[in-house]
């Protein structure tokens, strides 16, 4: 009982050994390099190349805006650009 209370406190304050901060995407990190390698490996397959290139762009957008991968980076500028605009504030 005491232990689960301590764990709850850790969870609430985002501290303790069980807490891993969310991955922070960065240009040039392992995932960036992996995505780039996948894209370059698909050079002979335009559809796969474009898909991988799109993912790399999206990953770098997260990196540039310092948005964790679990959160939505909105590229919409006006209503109708993006689903999150149409749905209103959630």
Which chain residues interact with Zn ion by CB under 5 A?
A: 74, 76, 82, 84
Cβ proximity to Zn ion: between 40 and 83 the closer is 83
Cβ proximity to Zn ion: between 29 and 86 the closer is 86
Least Å from the CB of residue 63 to Zn ion:
18
Q: How far apart are CA 75 and CA 82, in angstroms?
A: 7
Least Å from the CB of residue 75 to Zn ion:
7
Cβ proximity to Zn ion: between 39 and 59 the closer is 59
CB atoms near residue 85 (< 10 Å) = 14
Least Å from the CB of residue 64 to Zn ion:
16
**27-60-42-82 Cα dihedral, nearest 10 degrees:** 170
Q: How far apart are CA 65 and CA 72, in angstroms?
A: 11
- Are 63 and 27 a contacting pair, CB within 8 Å? yes
Cβ proximity to Zn ion: between 41 and 84 the closer is 84
Least Å from the CB of residue 83 to Zn ion:
6
């Amino acid at each position: 009982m005491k232990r689960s209370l301590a764990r709850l406190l850790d969870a609430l304050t985002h501290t303790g050994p069980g807490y891993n901060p969310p991955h922070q995407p960065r240009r040039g990190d392992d995932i960036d390099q992996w995505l780039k390698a996948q894209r370059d490996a698909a050079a002979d397959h335009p559809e796969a190349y474009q898909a991988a290139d799109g993912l790399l762009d999206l990953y770098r957008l997260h990196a540039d805006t310092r948005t964790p991968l679990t959160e939505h980076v909105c590229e919409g500028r006006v209503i109708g650009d993006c689903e999150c605009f149409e749905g209103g504030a959630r």
